Structure 1
Amino acid sequence: MLLAASIACGLIGWSGEVLLLPVAMVFPALWAMSPLRMVAAFVSAGYFLAASRGLPQGVANFYAADLWPGLLLWVGASLSFVAVHAAAWTLPVRGRLLKGHPEKGRAVRYLAVGVLTGLPPFGITGWAHPLTAAGVLFPGWGWWGLIATAAGLLVMTTRVWPAAAVTLGGFWLWSAATWTEPKLPDGWKAVDLEQGQMLGRDGSLEQHRDLIATVRVAAADGSRVFLLPESALGFWTPTVSRLWQDAIRDLNITVLAGAAVVDPQGYDNVMVAVSADEVRIVYRERMPVPVSMWRPWLAWTGQGGGARAHFFENTAVEIGSTRIAPLICYEQLILWPVVQSMLHRPSIIVATGNGWWTKGTSIVSIQKASTVAWAKLFDLPVVMAFNT
């Protein structure tokens, strides 16, 4: 029953519907109820694998292969999550982490779990973190909402979890009844694309001219900043830079778009800003997708290739006079990049993705739901651009 319930938590909470994210907060109670460490491990695996169920199909799409590589990566990605939860588990009644206080013992252990799975190195694959639900339960509360959600998760591991569930359920119902989508920042416009796997791979002049034409048409509404998806400009070179700057020189706009900066040691997944006055790289991705993009073992063995991870750099960047929190693709699925950015008090959350490989899955919907939840928590406008 615990395993079935944990799978249901993962399936429903991470369905891609933002208002269902609080279902994930039942998981700590199921973990705490587990009578054996092995059961706790299976409960944790059930939740994680259900929440990340789109990964096998996504990997198969990305590599044009069968499901086996995706299944192996899916299970491998769950290992750190399961290991942390299994190691931190204690007996439901007889745990004695804090002498004489088994309830506090479980809560303290789950606090450690939440921190470890939210921050590197375990947080590198820390998808489906229940804290993401804070924006649904406590929209506009900011850091206090995050603290209240963390406290609720800890109480869910104690004997009074039914009372905590009822209280959190009340906040959930009130939020759902009064829910509004985050605002789009004034003067900003997202340009979604449907170019499939060709986006970023087709670097022809014709492709760039088509994108430029799309932006120029969009600029007719008077917006000042235009956001294009991850990888929209392909390989970033001086020639591409000049082409784009010359093409929009007569417009008073800024184009913010994804690109790749390549060198012999590897590449950076970046956002670039192009305007009539300047062209610059404004953001280098902090956490590229592990294995498919980020392959640190290549550098360790003296080989080149793979995307670099800029873990603690450019957490918030300036676009004109506006400070933004940039999140590229995978960064929208894990906890620490957005929390790290919020420490710098941005005015806008800017999220991009190139989700052609997620066809047949809910991965892009989950990315968007997670981003919206964070925007609601900190009462920030959000702009998102995706390619599918």
Structure 2
Amino acid sequence: MRHNWGCPALLTIASVGVGTVAWSGQVLLLPLALGFPVLWSLSKTRLTATLVSAAYFLSASRGLPQGVATFYAADIWRGLLLWLAASASFVAVHALLWAKETGPHPGRYLLAAVLMAVPPFGITGWAHPITAAGVLFPGWGWLGLAAMTAGLAGLVSRLWPAVAIGLTGCWLWSAAFWTEPKLPEAWRGVDLEFGASLGRDTSMARHRDLITTVTERASGGSRIIVLPESALGFWTSTVERLWKRALAGHDVTVLAGAAVVDAVGYDNVVVAISAGDSRILYRERMPVPGSMWQPWEPLFGGNAGSKAHVFANPVVAVGSGRVVVLICYEQLLVWPALESMLGDPDVIVAVGNGWWTKGTSIVAIQRASTAAWAKLFSKPLVFSFNT
């Protein structure tokens, strides 16, 4: 019995360690995620491959149960159920594509990697090892993505020890000369600590506080100020007039999160406001499934919650520049960042409202993932989060 279960147990335990450390929120630790395809390929049975996949994903997303419980002010069981449900597609894809064969199977793993990078499976494609490309090949752009893809294929082949040594060398070299993504000139991201009240407190006092924050940052020379997801609450004509009047006399543009409600649901958006103009700049491509995006609800007479504009507005215009906006959950996925990079943007803007993640590493993971993409494509990066 020890002989039969010893190896699967060791692989599963190792997968827990890989998921936990790689997705701890430290960008330079992301390459440890490359241990997962190695462990998956070393599995001798489908059951072992399933356990390895589940162990990796569940450990990487370990903050979800506590975060969901905080968000819904409920007990931990609701969070645990959502945690297990979210892992289903990742585990199923990797379990089904594992094959009992004596030779290498890089094609099967690459297919799994592609499926978990794009919808529909990519909707829960968190903790994707390819995110580490930005650490191993900073500045390489699409060539770095190709090199990372080749590396993933090599890690599930007979040559995996040599490939692992080569990738480790790239990792050490990159870590030795690592610098954080640049902040674009005249841009300023504002981090807030308003907790759960952000987006829910829509009082005039709250708007005045935010306006004061913006004008103070503008006095320091910043011309584009970024506020977090949900900062303005509901985007209405009254809020629009208030902000445009408040910005009169200031040469500043504010990018801020808000919600636009209609009869069938709402859009999670980022708006651009200046003294002379205002518009909806970006509509979220992928809201959080389950808590925000609920496409099944119309079947039962409800609304779909936050709308998903899956492949819309990958790049938006701010002044004369081209900007990528990633709102919260999108920072954990692969396709929103890569789709946007096809448009060769000038700046990446990452916003979030992470008050519910307190005590977890979720916001740190979002920041690390986005920083990795910014480094891969050498793009300036602006963060704005509420905690």
Q: Which amino acid aligns with 2:256?
A: A
Q: Which amino acid aligns with 1:176?
A: A
Q: CA RMSD in A?
A: 0.7
**Alignment pair present for 1:7 and 2:19:** no
Contact 1:145 1:377 in 2 (8 A): yes
Q: Which amino acid aligns with 1:330?
A: Y
**Alignment pair present for 1:61 and 2:70:** yes
For residues 333 and 310 of structure 1, the distance between their equivalents in structure 2, rounded to whole angstroms, comes to 17
Give 1:5-154 correspondences, 5 Å limit.
5-91=14-100, 93=102, 102-103=103-104, 106-154=105-153
For residues 313 and 117 of structure 2, the distance between their equivalents in structure 1, rounded to whole angstroms, comes to 19
Unaligned runs of at least 5 residues, structure 1 = 94-101
Aligned residue in 1 for 2:260 = 261
Contact 1:329 1:353 in 2 (8 A): yes
Please, what TM-score do these two structures have when normalized by structure 2? 0.97
For residues 138 and 220 of structure 1, the distance between their equivalents in structure 2, rounded to whole angstroms, comes to 38
Aligned residue in 2 for 1:311 = 310
**Alignment pair present for 1:362 and 2:361:** yes
Q: Once the two structures are superposed, what CA deviation does each residue of 1:332-383 show, in whole Å capped at 9, x if it has no partner?
A: 0011100110011101110000000000100000000000000000001000
- The DSSP-based 3-state class of the residue aligned with 1:118 is coil
Question: How much does 1:305 deviate?
Answer: 4.8
Q: Once the two structures are superposed, what CA deviation does each residue of 1:66-97 show, in whole Å capped at 9, x if it has no partner?
A: 1000000000000000000000001251xxxx
Q: Once the two structures are superposed, what CA deviation does each residue of 1:231-264 show, in whole Å capped at 9, x if it has no partner?
A: 0000000000000000001100000000000011
Give 1:208-219 correspondences, 5 Å limit.
208-219=207-218
The number of residues matched between the two structures is 378
- The DSSP-based 3-state class of the residue aligned with 1:296 is coil
For residues 305 and 299 of structure 2, the distance between their equivalents in structure 1, rounded to whole angstroms, comes to 12
Question: How much does 1:168 deviate?
Answer: 0.1
Contact 2:293 2:304 in 1 (8 A): no
For residues 270 and 160 of structure 2, the distance between their equivalents in structure 1, rounded to whole angstroms, comes to 44
- The DSSP-based 3-state class of the residue aligned with 1:261 is strand
For residues 108 and 305 of structure 1, the distance between their equivalents in structure 2, rounded to whole angstroms, comes to 37
Contact 2:125 2:334 in 1 (8 A): yes
- In the TM superposition, structure 1's runs of 4+ consecutive aligned residues that sit over 3 Å from their partners are none
Give 1:218-367 correspondences, 5 Å limit.
218-367=217-366
Which is further off, 296-305 or 116-125? Answer: 296-305
Contact 1:34 1:92 in 2 (8 A): no
Question: How much does 1:179 deviate?
Answer: 0.3
Contact 1:264 1:305 in 2 (8 A): no
Contact 1:33 1:92 in 2 (8 A): no
Identity %, equivalent residues = 63
Q: Once the two structures are superposed, what CA deviation does each residue of 1:296-340 show, in whole Å capped at 9, x if it has no partner?
A: 011333422500000011010000111011100000001110011
Contact 2:67 2:358 in 1 (8 A): yes
Question: How much does 1:217 deviate?
Answer: 1.1
Aligned residue in 2 for 1:99 = none
Q: Which amino acid aligns with 1:317?
A: V
For residues 155 and 300 of structure 2, the distance between their equivalents in structure 1, rounded to whole angstroms, comes to 45
For residues 156 and 33 of structure 1, the distance between their equivalents in structure 2, rounded to whole angstroms, comes to 10
For residues 101 and 150 of structure 2, the distance between their equivalents in structure 1, rounded to whole angstroms, comes to 19
- The DSSP-based 3-state class of the residue aligned with 1:186 is coil
Please, what TM-score do these two structures have when normalized by structure 1? 0.97
Q: Which amino acid aligns with 2:75?
A: D
Aligned residue in 2 for 1:98 = none
For residues 49 and 329 of structure 1, the distance between their equivalents in structure 2, rounded to whole angstroms, comes to 20
Question: How much does 1:219 deviate?
Answer: 1.1
Change (3 A) 1:229 1:7: same
For residues 337 and 55 of structure 1, the distance between their equivalents in structure 2, rounded to whole angstroms, comes to 21
Aligned residue in 2 for 1:197 = 196
Q: Which amino acid aligns with 1:173?
A: L
